[in-house]
Amino acid sequence: MRISTQTFYQRSTSGILNAQAKTSELNVHLTEGKRVIHAADDPVAAASIQRLQKSVAVNTQYLQNIDVADAANSQEESTLAQMVNLLQRTRELLVSTGDGSYNLQNYETIATELEQLKGELVGLANTKDGNSEYIFSGYDVDTKPFQVNEFGSVKYLGDRGLREVQVGPGVEAGINDNGFDLLMNLKNGNSSFVSTVGSSNKGTGVIDQAVIFDPNTSKNFTGEEYSVHFTKPGVGLPVQYSVYSIEQATVTGSAKVKLTGVDLNDVNIGNVNPANVFPTAGNSVNVQFFATATAGEFEIQINGQSSLPTIYDANIATTQTITIDGMSLEVEGVPVATDTYKINKYIAPTQYSENQSIELNGLRTQIKGQPIDKDYFTLSPSANKDIFATIQGAIDTLRIPGTTDVEEAVRLTQMNMAQIELDNALNNIVNTRSKVGARMNTLSNQKEIGQDFKLVAQTSMSRLEDLDMAKAISDLKIQQTALEVAQQTFVQLQRLNLFDLLR
């Protein structure tokens, strides 16, 4: 077989080029420190590396989200702690008013400090984070959540959203709490009932909070507003109390109706007063609204007894008192013709004694002091009330003129309710702070999990793609030697000539 010189050249050149390519490739791997740079280097390892890189990228995003969530929750926790301190100071001031030795100047000093504390609380509620976003405005982070109107009332303008970020596979963590649920959506009174003193009371009676001692019985009377009425039956006779309630029967309008007076000494009281006591038949009477010829004006009837010629005028945006045969109703809002309420009688006239305990329908309250004829007290079902209104109510109470026993009785009752409502707010903030702490614990756990995963994934990728430097250097030396041999062989082939052999 004949082998031409051209064939020698081609084979030698090809050998040199292949050796150069392998040497260059080994240099690249050594420079990068990677065993697998292209999928062709190791197809199976390359696929595994790609999956790991994707998982690491997702995990890195989780860790970034954790940092964002942790910063947000840390700021909220700090703000809530400041709120707790502020409200504790507020509570100290409210408690101090029960000392009994304060004068009007002392009350005004406390009211002034309470105004300052209220302003500070509004400021804390409008806290911004490092991105100038309001932390208590729900999703609406660019809207200032708490704003004070010209009447001193605080309005919430944010929404009720809870922002969340994903911090792990299937794990989401909140990064805020909305201000409505934190400070606005609170129950007044003791969360069951609110105790109030009648606006026209002249005695020194004080009513305590209503405590539900029998929930199973109490739930059967949900929605009823109770009132305790006092009557002096005659000269030299001890004062008596009786207990009534008023509740909606068939109501489609928006009027609010309260029973504010039961004068058992009125000669016509028998026309409107329930004859018997619950549960005996005849323990209730109806209150009905009837439209008159004038729009917005209504006749009121109690047990069929008419208020005419007195009418209730819904066109007047003030509370109006209607008295029929010794029974007085306080009405506000807009009723609808045929709206019906029901007055129930639960305790017949009973002699009152100091620190009188009153029990009915699964609840218990107590009256202290000396109520007099026609005094009354109300136990209203709790409704929503914001903490700012509670503080403002305390301020207004402290500024009631006069320090006689009558004014002090009103002041004591209302301040007691304010303390209870303040405790409700404090509990809500403390509970929210606990939830924030739980979220921060979750974030800490997820961060540890994420960092562990990152370490394991990086170790696995290193094992798949990192270069064995000792072996690579050895391979490079071998390849460089092969390249040098190929080059020297090619040089020798170039020197071969037939004429060199003919001598």
DSSP-based three-state secondary structure for 55: helix
Are the CB atoms for 415 and 214 separated by under 8 Å?
Answer: no
Q: What is the pLDDT of residues 309-321, one digit of tens each?
A: 999 999 998 999 9
Q: Which residue has the tokens 């606990």?
A: 434
Distance, in Å, from the CA atom of 206 to the CA atom of 55, rounded to the nearest integer, reads: 68
Is residue 182 a contact partner of residue 429, using CB atoms and an 8 Å limit? yes
pLDDT of the chain along its 503 residues, tens only? 455 556 556 665 665 556 555 665 656 555 655 655 555 555 766 666 577 778 778 888 989 999 999 999 999 999 999 999 999 999 999 999 887 778 899 999 999 999 999 999 999 999 999 889 999 999 999 999 999 988 889 999 999 999 999 898 888 889 999 999 999 999 888 888 999 999 889 999 999 999 999 999 999 999 899 999 999 999 989 999 999 999 999 999 999 999 999 999 999 999 999 999 999 999 999 999 999 999 999 999 999 999 999 999 999 989 999 999 999 999 999 999 999 999 999 999 999 998 889 999 999 999 999 999 999 999 999 989 999 999 999 999 999 998 888 998 999 999 999 999 999 999 999 999 999 999 999 999 988 888 887 888 777 765 656 555 556 566 556 656 665 565 566 555 555 555 555 55
Angstrom CA distances, 463 to 29, 30, 129, stand at: 15, 16, 43
> CA–CA separation, 42 vs 293, rounded Å?
95
Which residues, 6+ apart, have CB-to-CB distance to 484 below 8 Å?
none
Please report the pLDDT score of residue 1 as a whole number. 47
Give 82-110 as a DSSP string. Answer: HHHHHHHHHHHHHHHGGGS---HHHHHHH
Number of residues that this document lists for the chain: 503
pLDDT at residue 189, as a whole number: 82
- Written as six digits, the tokens of 458 are 């990086």
* Predicted pLDDT of residue 452: 85
3-state secondary structure 435-497: HHHHHHHHHHHHHHHHHHHHHHHHHHHHHHHECCHHHHHHHHHHHHHHHHHHHHHHHHHHHCC
Q: State the DSSP string of 157-196.
A: -S-----EEEEETTEEEE----HIIIIISEESTTSSEEEE
**Per-residue confidence (pLDDT) for residue 453, from 0 to 100:** 78
Distance in angstroms between the alpha carbons of the first and the last residue of the chain? 26
